Amino acid sequence: MKIDEMLMKALTSYDNNRARSQQVEIGVSQIGGCRTQVWLQLQDAERTNDTLKLPALMGTAIHKMIEESLAAEWNEYQMEREVEYDGLKGHIDLYVPSIGAVIDWKTTKLANLDYFPSKQQRWQVHLYAFLLSKNNETPKTVTLVGIPRDGDERHIKIHTENYDEQMAMDGLLWLADVKERTEAPAPERHAAQFCQHYCPYFGDVCLGKGKEVNAEPITDEVVIGAVDKYIEISAEIKSLENKKDGIKALLENVDGVTPSGVAVKWSQVAGRSSIDEQEVQKLLGYVPKKQGDPSMRLMVK
């Protein structure tokens, strides 16, 4: 028995039996994501890919712990409330009726918090507020709480804004556009980066975004700002690397300890060991090779 397989089988079985996991309708959390994935779900397409599940399961566990701990302390709060209007269903992490606050917990990676929340996440929480407003509630604010799975409590990020119905309408327009299409939209996410690991339709149904160059103009101001920042940081890194190389040259033949206790020491490092492919070719007549999993490389210039 493999312990990792036993663990994932048990966790997956537990998650599959939750009511939210059995929901077949398009949910609020999917709006603003991959149009192709949502369109295929609307067509009841066959799910051909066994996806990775641990990140989502960790998020579920954190949500469950928050729900249980808050229920024990503040029973006037509404947690995991299901709301529905005009065929759209959502499950709200936390709603505080007395102040009209809609709160959504988001588990993520620490690196993703720099640009938290995304437009999709903002659409989601405003849509929750919209559904509440159609169910005789008066939402006033929406809050997204970013909880890094690889961080600690110092890294929790909170974003609050007033409820804006137009934000919800933008999300609904996105969904209406997907529903009206007679053919699947072009894939929006790269296979090696996302689809092959996390999309249930990857494979015969959809191969994800390929190597083609996407010449569409980028209009999202947050994304444009991120591109500019990436170029700025890349230039700073290059400059710092040049400075570091200069200092390294200055320290040639230097060994010792500074007054503050910093040791400077040079040591010989063995050269990289590699397979002699020519010798292998002579002995076997061929060179056996193993193809690794594809990965994505970012180019910004």
pLDDT at 17 over 80: no
Give residue 73's pLDDT band: very low, low, confident or very high (50, 70, 90): confident
Give 32's contacts (C-beta < 8 A, 6+ positions apart).
119, 120, 123, 124, 171, 174
Region at 28 (left for phi over 0; alpha for psi -120 to 50; beta for the rest) = alpha
One DSSP character per residue, 1-59 reads --HHHHHHHHHHHHHHTSTGGG--SPBGGGTTS-HHHHHHHHTT---------HHHHHH
Nearest to 129 by CA among 28, 59, 31, 34: 28
Give residue 100's pLDDT band: very low, low, confident or very high (50, 70, 90): very high
> What is the pLDDT of the chain when averaged over all its residues?
87
Give tens-digit pLDDT for 155-213. 999 999 999 999 999 999 999 999 999 999 988 888 877 888 889 999 888 888 765 55
**pLDDT at position 245, please?**
76
| Separation of CA 291 from chain center | 26
CA 269/CA 259 separation, integer angstroms: 27
- In this prediction, residues 74-102 reach a mean pLDDT of 92
| Separation of CA 200 from chain center | 16
Q: Which residue has better confidence, 142 or 4?
A: 142
**pLDDT at position 135, please?**
96
Question: Taking the model in full, what pTM does it have?
Answer: 0.76
**pLDDT at position 19, please?**
60
- Asked if residues 133 and 91 have their Cβ atoms less than 8 Å apart, the reply is no
Give tens-digit pLDDT for 215-266. 678 888 888 888 878 877 887 887 888 788 778 777 877 888 888 888 988 8
CA 93/CA 103 separation, integer angstroms: 6
- In this prediction, residues 13-21 reach a mean pLDDT of 70
**pLDDT at position 24, please?**
62
